[in-house]
Amino acid sequence: MDIRIGDELMMKKAHPCGGDRFAVLRVGMDFRIRCTKCSREVMLPRKKAEKNIKAVFRGGEKLSLAQLQGTAADGDPRS
Ligand SMILES: [Zn+2]
């Protein structure tokens, strides 16, 4: 899945604070994301993060999951 730094993720499972939007700070084997509501940072494995994504916002535009898939193959060795 093509997730980039600066993207905003809407997650299926909300943060304990109730926020479901996260800013992407780092991508790679693990994603580092920051809850936009309480500003806490969370690190989680890429696979787990991708499964939890409901929608992605990039530059104010909502991207469909179909748009994000297919661009980068799973298990991409980059990073
Ligand atoms: Zn939070």
Domain ranges of the chain: 8-61
**Overall pTM surpassing 0.85 (yes/no):** no
Distance in Å, CA 77 to ligand 1 centroid: 31
Q: Which residue has the higher pLDDT, 73 or 46?
A: 46
The pLDDT assigned to 15 comes to 97
> Average pLDDT in the 4-13 region?
96
How distant, in Å, are the alpha carbons of 9, 26, 36, 59, 63 from that of 78? 21, 13, 27, 24, 23
Distance in Å, CA 38 to ligand 1 centroid: 4
What digits encode the pLDDT tens for the residues 30-69? Answer: 999 999 999 999 999 999 999 999 999 999 899 988 888 8
Distance in Å, CA 72 to ligand 1 centroid: 28
Single-letter amino acid, residue 51: K
Biggest CA–CA distance in the chain, Å, is 34
Q: Which residue has the higher pLDDT, 74 or 30?
A: 30
**CA dihedral over 16, 22, 25, 26, signed as positive or negative:** positive
